[in-house]
Every structure is written in structure tokens, then in C-alpha cells.
Amino acid sequence: MGRKLQISIVSLVLVAIAGAAFVYWWDSTHKDTIAEGVTIGGVDVGGLEAPAARSQVRTNLISPLEKSVKVKYGGEDFELTEKEADVHADIGGMVDEALAVSQEGGLPERTWRSLSGGEVPHAVRPKIAYDEDEVDHFINHISSKLSRDPVDASVEPSLGALEPVASVTGLKVDEDALRHDVEKALQDPARRTLKPETEKVKPEITTAELADRYPTYIVVDRGSFQLSLYRNLELEKTYTVAIGAVGYDTPAGLYAIQDKQVDPTWNVPDSEWAGSLAGQLIPPGPENPLKARWMGIYNGAGIHGTDDVGSLGSAASHGCVRMAVDDVIELYDSVDIGTPIYIS
């Protein structure tokens, strides 16, 4: 082997050794440097050593998270403060992950990437922790304040009148969606103000359906001795009636027509006022005071016809509502069993 060849080989070996030494030296001096392209929670930490990366993450990610999260809806404001949320982060763990990712690949690959400005496209997910119980309390508080049950449409009878009461649509907060948004905001400094997702809750009986719910309704005003018939919540006709005398008061309150009879048999109450007829059954006829029709209301009291028309407009019965015969027949044909009757 010629001397020149020996010199060439030795030179190549020396160059290789020097190159390897350089690569080793370069890699060892950059083992604490994060590769370009690595981010932590959206914060660029490429090219930074561990202390600088920790400072960068603390300034640009953690500090902005140490602010209140606000939820606004319909003039209501709710706030979850940083103290209540107790937001804290494992900054060291996130930076360690960024360094570990930067060291992936072989020695030559790392060195070439570092020298050529190559990147490691890796996003370290933020390791953010918070008080989950406090978040649950925050969600429950918002839901309790904003949510409302629907209110069915109804009627309000009083003093011979019948007033419709409009329905109210309910509101329900989507607690799962709100919890997701709050938890995301606690880890994202750009999301400080939120609006909860809500759902309207329809009542079972809407205002538009109220008339169908009450096709007929009876209101008895004992003070004016009047019975009013409402059809589809509109006053159809008013009749003069007699009500219970003092001591035999017609029962006040909300009831319903329980039964209906044509030419009813009178089941005489076993009461002192009934005298010798007490407990008897009186068939239709001259001796039966229940004329033409019977509509039972409550506990033996009902609406019936009478031939004592002179008693109408007064407190004269033993608890029933008396009507003129033609009137009670007309009313009987206008209402069904179950028709509400309010006696004021």
C-alpha cells in the first residue's frame, strides 16, 4: 500500500472521528433545548431551554388562566373566580414532555434536524387541574337560577267570573354542555366569557289549548245567587238560582259534575231537617222536590230543578243549587259528567 493511500485513509479516519465527536458534542450541548415546532398549550417553546420554556408557559398560558370564568345569560351574570376554581398546572411535567419529544430519533437525525432548522411538529397538551367539585357547584348554581318549570295554562274562577291564566314556557339549562364549556375555558385563556345552551320546555297545556281543555265550565256565585255557564271560556248564559240556607250552606270550592239523572229519585238524607222522610227514597212525582234533572256535585249536594220558583234568588235550600225547571233542563243538556263547577 502506497504512502499516499495510507495518509488518505488516516485522514478519513480522523475526519470521521472528528465528525462523530462534533455530532456527540453538539447533541449533548442541545439535550436541554426544545426542538423547533414544539408547542405547549399553543405556546411556542421551540429553541428554548427548560428554564426559559417554563417561564414562557407560565407567562403566556398559566397566568391568563388565573382569571375568572364568566357565564352570561339574559341579564344574569355568574362568575367562577380563579380562587374558587383553584386552577393549577404541572409546568415542569409539560416542559419535560417537550424535551422528551425533542430527543426522539437517532443521534444523527437529531443533529441534522438541529443544524438544518428542522422541526418536530408536536403539541403538548396542557396539564391543567382545577377543583372539580367547585365546578359542579358552579354549574348547579347556574342551572338552579336559570332553569324554570313550565306552567300549564289554567283558569281562575272567582266571584262569578272565569279568567284564563296564560301558560308559561319552561327553560332547561344543558348542564353537560355547560360543564364541558367551563372545563374547556379553564384550560383556554381565550375563553373567559360563556353563554350556556338552553332548551325551551313546552307546558302540557298551552294557552291556545286551554279552551279545548275546558269546553264547558260552571261558576256559581252564592253572593249574587247566579249560576254562569261558560263555553270555550266565553260566558254563554247566566241563571238565577237558590242556594243553601244559613246552616245548610252550599259547599264552596272547585268540584265537578259527578253524575247526571233525568227525573231523579230523591235519596232523602238521614238528617233531622228531613223529618219523617229521613232515609227514604222518594220517586219522581209531586212529593219529590228534585224536579226534572239532577247533576251531582259533592257529598249529596247537587244542581236540580224546583217548582218553588219563588225561592230563586235567595238562600233557601238544604245545600243544593236550585234552578227553574226549564233552566235546569237546558243546563243539563249543555254539560257532561266531569264539567268543572266552581262555587264562590
- H or E segment to which residue 134 belongs: helix 132-146
**Crossing angle for the helix pair 3-29 and 107-116, to the nearest 10 degrees:** 80
Is residue 38 within 8 A of residue 120, CB to CB? The reply is yes
What's the full length of the chain, in residues? 344
Residue 239: C-alpha distances to residues 4, 229, 294, 334 (Å): 136, 8, 16, 13
pLDDT in tens, the chain (344 residues): 566 666 665 556 555 555 455 444 444 545 668 888 889 888 898 878 888 888 988 888 888 778 899 999 999 999 999 889 888 888 888 888 888 887 776 566 555 565 555 677 888 888 888 999 999 999 999 999 999 999 999 999 877 778 999 999 999 999 999 999 999 988 887 888 999 999 999 999 999 999 999 999 999 999 999 999 999 999 999 999 999 998 889 999 999 999 999 999 877 776 666 565 666 777 888 888 899 999 999 988 999 999 999 999 999 998 899 999 999 999 999 999 999 999 99
Q: What is the pTM of this model?
A: 0.64
Is residue 154 within 8 A of residue 205, CB to CB? The reply is yes
> Which residues fall within 8 angstroms of residue 300, CB to CB, at 6 or more apart?
267, 269, 319
